[in-house]
Amino acid sequence: MRKTLVQLSGPYDLALSLKAAAAFSQSRSEFEPVLRKPVKLKGTTPILEVRQESLKPAVIEISAKQTNHAEQIIELARWMVLADLDLYDFYQLVSEDPVLSPVVKQLHGLKPMRPASLFEMAVIAVTEQQISMVAAERIRSRLVERFGEKIEELWLFPSPQALSRASLEDLTDCGLSKRKSEYILGLAHQVIEGSLDLEKLKEMSDDEVRSVIGRIRGFGRWSADYILIRGLGRPDVVPVDDLGIRTFTGAYFGDGKRMSAEEVAKAFEPYAPFRGIAMFYLMVHNRLGIKEME
């Protein structure tokens, strides 16, 4: 496909957004300001590339070699970079806020990066239950290299079909617990059988998504909220039960001590309907460190 330029609504900084994503990765030192991701489209596996053409206005360049599926590639790229989220209203909301205003100025144009598919996001949610992101990433790396497909130097995330053929021993060998291995197998089988259509989540309200996700074995309120904010990009969702969020929220709004779930919910109330985006900005600011951002 030809390179396609897409102008986004509001500010966007791809390099900063990728740097933020890399900050939660064990390979953070390998950060590059270009999004490169192998994707599967109707039997082909092109590598999607997104580059920043300009900051003002925010324009991205989308391309992929060896594919004629231009519309699908553009749609997928827009999905991954959260193209439909206009940060202007959020910036207006926090412009006078003593906590968020300086953070937003340092992280202007930052947006979350969504995984290419909701199945990948659901597997991410399982792997990150009750362990650190870095530890979960190591497990996922082994999972991807064992069941995924290598495209050039990159890895295509395993399909539901590939993971459904795995044994419990195969999955536990990757570092998953027996229970989490069962959760992933159950998820993959439900997707293949058609009893779970993850794409339909995009059309549902937040509460409807929580209801559907909550019926999947191994997926509770935390997983549902995590999928809502990170997988679906819903801007007003905060996983208040997350220990990491309760810890860094206390550093910004409390006395430095870990907050309760109720205290976290109250702290983010003023930022509705962008509570999840406010949380994300503080999380990235905390992760990168104020000195690095100056």
Q: What are 154-179's pLDDT values in tens digits?
A: 999 999 999 999 999 999 999 999 99
CA dist 261 and 246 (Å) reads 7
CA dist 26 and 121 (Å) reads 18
Beta strand 47-54 pairing with 35-38: antiparallel
Query: Is the previous residue joined to 273 through a cis bond, with omega within 30 degrees of 0?
Result: yes
pLDDT of residue 291: 39
Query: Is the previous residue joined to 102 through a cis bond, with omega within 30 degrees of 0?
Result: no
Residue pLDDT, tens place only, 6-44: 999 899 999 999 999 988 876 555 567 999 999 998 878
Residue pLDDT, tens place only, 204-259: 999 999 999 999 999 999 999 999 999 999 999 999 999 999 999 999 998 889 99
pLDDT of residue 293: 40
For residue 219 the two structure tokens come to 């997926």
Task: Tell me the domains of the chain and their CATH numbers.
Answer: 4-84 (3.30.310.20), 118-231 (1.10.340.30)
Of 77, 81, 79, nearest to 112 by C-alpha is 81
CA dist 63 and 214 (Å) reads 37
Q: What is the mean pLDDT of residues 186-197?
A: 97
What average pLDDT does the chain have?
93
Strand order in the sheet with 59-64: 4-7, 59-64, 47-54, 35-38
For residue 164 the two structure tokens come to 């459904």
Whether this prediction's pTM lies above 0.85 is answered by: yes
Locate all alpha helices (DSSP H) within 36-177, ordered by sequence. Answer: 70-80, 88-93, 100-106, 118-127, 133-147, 160-164, 168-172
